[in-house]
Structure 1
């Protein structure tokens, strides 16, 4: 079974025929298509991987005893992002740290397990509220944002001290293409010392063992096998060959893990739906500096990311270090398929914690290395702001 997209296949996909990795579908199922051109054997492997991704685990399968959800698809709604739901099952999760933001939480470790099998007690309960943040554009137009405040309660309903970061599951389509981007391409984009003095100083997430972090909100994982195995372990309490149980055994077989990774690698990307009048929005996207991090072409891919870590300022500082990323650092998320979020999810939730209820709000939370771009957005006329947002909605 192939574990990565081969170099020849990548070159073919990035050639003169964008239809080789783009699909024309703007429905609620837009994120779940296989790459065009797969042969029958690969399509069958994709189908089996889809089944594995949607498999609901129960006690008899080794679930838990503490967990967040029972399936991969339970958090990645229709292969897209999750919702801010902490009910019977959680579609979001909470990363946990000690008060210093670096060490594992003394009670919860690295992630809260807010559900449990019958006879067990969940580690804690999430209480989420929002604070309102107000501001104005330079033309006087007011806006309102919301900032999440997360508390974790013990069995008696009392808050437990610690650092907590709310996280939504990100979309999973197009990941195989991003995994295949050569490291040399990404290395050519980083500028940790900001030598060109443009205010943008992204850096690669160089992980232990020389691996390059590409996945997760803070680029803490290098491969899709590892990403899947981490999710099985942390979200469902399931062991895998990458993270075996204390007895050296695992509940998720190597075959199933590889099938899920195959499925993720071969999910296609929805084609953009831009109109001729959206050219103005594209020009504004470039002019105000959005494209400095959201690269319009990454090894030929219209992913709108550089896969680098960037300091996003105090407004998005979650107080939690992860991998090699500091609390203010986040990996640039891809923007392809962005405009289909509401159609797929049923609502709009953006940024790592879903605080942004619109693309406009997401832009207004940018800071740090993106502060200049945000200020230029604030200075745009209402007509130009709408043109830029219309361009993003067509991605």
Structure 2
């Protein structure tokens, strides 16, 4: 299964693709972070000289040197990004495939025959299992930055590290936003039994009903943006007088937790998890009052633990990279691409619940 491919040069990719732990990569990573190189001993100056030599050759237009340097950058970006993408395992079923593999998810439809009383040697109704291969559509998410090889040749790497961190954050947020949008769109469009509520504000009735329905499949986790999960704190506590909401009281421990974190960690046996949702500083809201968010802030997912859920994510290959010149400005750019797809299994949508708050920005 081939996972890596360097766009600029196959030769350069072959040189580096099995050396993610090579000293030159580790030294380069430490140089970007500003860490000490003492732990590498005599190998550090050799690796540092090689990196500067690549930068000098790349600045002079050497395509091979640019391809090799891109591989160094990729081995810095890729581990940071792929580690964070493992978040999808918590939300659903996350699958990694090679570039030559088809993005296919196997789904199963159970036709269950109920056990019943019957006469001896009577006809028996048997259940069946239908397997279906569903092709998952993928998109390519891209990010990058302008690069100055001369500055790096002189050892000015602090800004490059900032660019790398921004690329990782941008790719992660864009990928997560796409996946959640696809999940919700497909989930809402599917028919059959499903636990879905649309409310103006997160109401106690909708929250309790979703937990009650999904709890039968396993202990529930509630996942969503801070704007959603923080509303759950409004529904905790107990009534001193039955049937009188105005007499509700909250224990000191829960009150302290709300003061410390702005939310509660559990509600009626369900764990509560905030999904980080960053601002997209390249886009403003229509009224210009704030920046847009990468993820929809109005969705709350109820996911059972230890259960096969309908949410699937496929990552095809790994991070690819290329560089080139802008003809208009002459500026050198380095680009990173990630191919990803999402699917909702129509035969398992009854195992999860979704609440959409119409008062918040989102889908």
TM range (shorter): under 0.3
Larger radius of gyration between Structure 1 and Structure 2: 2
Higher helix fraction (1 or 2): 2
TM-score w.r.t. the length of structure 1 is 0.20
TM-score w.r.t. the length of structure 2 is 0.22
Higher strand fraction (1 or 2): 2
